[in-house]
Amino acid sequence: MDLESDSTAVVVVDMQNAFCHPDGSLYAPGSESVIDPISDLVSRARETGTQIVYTRDVHPPEQFEDAHYYDEFEQWGEHVLEGSWDAELVDELAVEDGDHVVEKHTYDAFHQTELEGWLNARGIDDLVLCGTLANVCVLHTGGSAGLRDFRPLMVEDCIGAIEEGHREYTLDHAEWLFGEVIQSDELEFDG
């Protein structure tokens, strides 16, 4: 599949120490296992001038103190606290000049962030989605992208999960409802 670099962004979802490093608070081996394929994908895209966007799930310690219902700390325990090692991107996926980083406070990278406006301002229509966790932040970001009329391309071999069944569910659901599923080696970036 050929993608125009000037209208495409690779969106790397939450590849942070918390999820990808064995010492992380919510470590999932499936997240660590996609670091190298994502690094390869980002390198190929970057060579053609394709925009790279990293999302970081970050929570101020007091975020859910006044929550009526939505409380991620109740679901997952405290994680990716603002300013913590947990919240940092893994070393293998270093942010470079020209990359964009979106800090988000929910599963959806579009919810109350500047991401949609930033993409629209650059004429980006196609989003190559990778990262972790499949059935949480990748799924909600992909679905939200589709609802905003972006084309979500879910890169199967670059999406991490706690369990393989979670990843399979996410990809089946995405393909059925809002996006396309593809392997990283099927992607070509035309710069």
Q: Which pLDDT belongs to residue 15?
A: 98
Beta pairing class for 51-57 and 8-13: parallel
Q: How confident is the model over 130-156, as a mean pLDDT?
A: 98
Position 80, amino acid = V
Alpha-carbon span 113 to 159, nearest angstrom: 22
Average pLDDT over every residue of 174-183: 97
What local confidence, expressed as pLDDT, does residue 152 receive?
Answer: 98
Identify the band that residue 166 occupies on the pLDDT scale cut at 50, 70 and 90: very high
**% of the chain with per-residue pLDDT over 70:** 100
pTM over 0.85: yes
Q: How far apart are CA 173 and CA 171, in angstroms?
A: 5
Q: Considering only residues 162 and 76, tell me which one the structure prediction assigns the higher pLDDT.
A: 162
Domain limits for position 52: 2-62+70-190
What are the pLDDT digits (tens) for 18-60?
999 999 999 999 999 999 999 999 999 999 999 999 999 998 8
| CATH number of the domain to which 99 belongs | 3.40.50.850
Per-chain mean pLDDT for the chain: 95
Count up the domains in the chain and report the number. 1
For residue 113, count other CB atoms closer than 10 A to its CB.
Answer: 16
* pLDDT for position 71: 82
pLDDT digits (tens, 9 = 90+) for 105-136: 999 999 999 999 999 999 999 999 999 999 99
pLDDT class for 67, splitting at 50, 70, 90? Answer: confident
